[in-house]
Amino acid sequence: MELTRIRHALVTGGASGIGLGIVDAFAERGIAVTVADIIQERLDQQFVMRGENIMPIRLDTRDREGWIEAKRTAETRFGPVDVLVNNAGIGPDGCEISEMTPDSFDKTIAINLTAVFNGINAFVGEMKARGSGHIVNTASMNGIMLGLARYGAYAASKFGVVGLSEALREELEPHGVGVSVLCPGPVLSNMPETSRLLGNPAPEQRWPDGTVGMEPIVAGRIVLRSIELNLGHILTHPNYFPAIDHRNDVIRQAAEIEQAEWASLPGWQG
């Protein structure tokens, strides 16, 4: 989608971290932005002096009625939303799956995955009807690499966002609507603090020793360029591809063993 055609973007989780970087990247290009976030204090701190082209609104992305009101408010101010960025998220709670509480699991899935659907559901119908638009869903490198211990529900939610986005991209392509899934590597953010505020005490991010997080504005500019290129997958750190390749290798090795083992089973056809 040509950036010159974008008049209005809505970004959830936009008051800090990657979301704020995306907001700032849109603002650099003179694009009006509705910034949705659940933490009112952050909205007040970040956007009180940002000018008339940015409108902050409080939104709990789990709340489907809240989405309807947010859409109404945003489009009354700036017109139809051309780009929806479902970025709001919560981090892992650091528990093994056997120790995780049902509340923590449900909360992680609700905020990281179901809320993405809620945003899509609120906007996709009109984008299809107009024959234009773009949706960006934030997942994680943890959604495309081998699962890590103590990241179980988080990884499940992010794998879900990847699968949902890939299916949605195929469905919307004939209608002229683009879909990208953002799988960021290390980016400076307030994810641990946000997770704690929402009730999930988060462990430190497990990145290789010496890794320095990317500035959020750089990640934001990557997202805008990826929208322009209509990329299905946005990797802020392509140098992390070996982590993706490792997962593929593990699956491939299992398949090679199974090809030999299952061949001896009566009735099996590969």
Domain boundaries, the chain: 3-236, 242-270
Going from the C-alpha of 66 to that of each of 27, 33, 39, 46, 54, the distances in angstroms are 25, 18, 14, 22, 19
The CATH T-level fold of domain 3-236 is: Rossmann fold (3.40.50)
Q: Which of 26, 123, 154, 240 is catalytic?
A: 154
Going from the C-alpha of 23 to that of each of 52, 56, 156, 159, 197, the distances in angstroms are 14, 11, 27, 25, 22
Contact between residue 118 and residue 111 where contact means Cβ atoms under 8 Å apart? no
Contact between residue 155 and residue 147 where contact means Cβ atoms under 8 Å apart? yes
pTM above 0.75, yes or no: yes
Three-state SS across 76-101?
A: HHHCCCCEEEECCCCCCCCCCCCCCC
Q: What is the pLDDT along the chain (270 residues), one digit of tens a residue?
A: 999 999 999 999 999 999 999 999 999 999 999 999 999 999 999 998 788 999 999 999 999 999 999 999 999 999 999 999 999 999 998 899 999 999 999 999 999 999 999 999 999 999 999 999 999 999 999 999 999 999 999 999 999 999 999 999 999 999 999 999 999 999 987 766 766 666 666 555 555 545 668 999 999 999 999 999 999 999 999 988 999 999 999 999 999 999 999 999 999 987
The answer to whether residue 240 is catalytic is no
> What's the rounded Cα separation, in Å, for the pair 137 and 223?
11
Q: Please, what is the end-to-end C-alpha distance for the chain in angstroms? A: 42
Contact between residue 182 and residue 225 where contact means Cβ atoms under 8 Å apart? no
